[in-house]
Structure 1
Amino acid sequence: GVLLMHPSLVSANPMRITAGEECNEDSHPWLVLLTTESGTMCGATLLNQDWVLTAAHCYEREKIWLSFGVHNREQRRGDEQVREAVGTFCYPDIPSTTNSSCPSFTLDRGDDIMLIKLNAPVTYNEHIAPLALPDHAAPLGTECNIIGWGETELIVGSASDVPLCASISTKENQFCQDVYQRNITDDMICAGVLEGGPDACRGDSGGPLLCGGQLQGLVSFGGYPCGEPMVPGVYTKIVKYRKWIQSHML
């Protein structure tokens, strides 16, 4: 079935990278761990000292915490930083929006993207640094990387202590459209490994799809069980929202 990685739609947390390997500890300074009071876990990406990008379906009405510089969730190094969300903006909110439109988010609508304003700027260090927005779309067939702390097994709550990295490639959107029997728009990226294996899973939602070192996508939805053959995942295409993102960050 289709895995809608919204906490209320699945029996466990949102989408863990299957068939991944532990990422190099120094290779992901822009990776952010998003957690909430109810136990939702998502990935996110640091854009600058005040702003983080993630998926709209990671929104919760309660407090949202953002942890920076994290590698092992259970064994902290000491240079990590934690902030709280003071603003959550979902497309097509305008910068003057005071109340977020995120609560009304449904996956049918698409636009699975959310900007989070931090309560205080983060301080960059060896393990905390931003990632630039993409200046062009990734061509079809591009090798990309996914990264996250999500589930690795079909065991509910089998989230990983360390972020896992896996390599997948972009596919024709029509392929995902046929698999999911729904409209996969050009605001989305279809990506995976058709033989099965590497895939995002619950807990990886909102995390980055990196192609050629550029932040091209956000984990949105996929099949469940994760990593099934011929079932690529669907990612929000960031380049389509670049102007909207920049208008908020000014």
Structure 2
Amino acid sequence: MTREEYFRLVNAASGKPRLMLLLETICATGIRVSEVKYITLEAARQGRAEITLKGKVRTILLPGKLCRKLLKYARKQNILSGEIFLTRGGRRLNRKNIWAEMKALCPAAGVAASKVFPHNLRHLFAKCFYDACRDLVKLADVLGHSSVETTRIYLLSTGTQHVKLLERLGLVGETETAQRPSASVIEAEDSMREVAGNVAQNNCIHYADAHDACYGKSDRKTGWADRETRAAPAAFLG
């Protein structure tokens, strides 16, 4: 999912305040959909959320603009304490609820349904955060990864992008007589790009999903502190 597609989704949700704010919250902080429950009224007031997962605690800083939106929404919903994102009946939103509501935005936003799911917002956050600071260890800390190698997966480009980059390097000389490539060569090149793109995309998505299911099992250790606070960029807030 690109930034432009993300903003189209946010605009499409303008008539649904809870969903619009939920999209902005996930994408502006990089939290998992299972961690939405930690976005509480108290967290919005303090400007930080304490997230506990498998015995580990990490602190996520909330952008000021996001905090103001969360507090305004809570006032309108008469939320006096605790979780902000609740159903009309006062129950916690689950993954299925969030998934379905996001998918329903696709036609109006003009975004392919295959790109729209909560974890892709987390991937977009990771890419934009890394582009801003170029610090893989800091990003891993913010995302709650126990291994930098897991974080690296979030930043992989597709195979097609990689092939195009290699071609732009210009390290293969031209033939003396420029000739139009044969149809078989063109077909082979197109096939290579398509296969490379599909393999890279599938590996990225499946690895991320598997990691969320098996979080904490990696034996590759890193040296950052779990409770060290990291600032989240506010670039995703409309």
- Same-fold call, TM > 0.5? no
TM-score w.r.t. structure 2 length? 0.25
TM-score w.r.t. structure 1 length? 0.24
Query: Comparing both structures, which one devotes a greater share of its residues to helix?
Result: 2
Q: Which has the larger radius of gyration?
A: 2
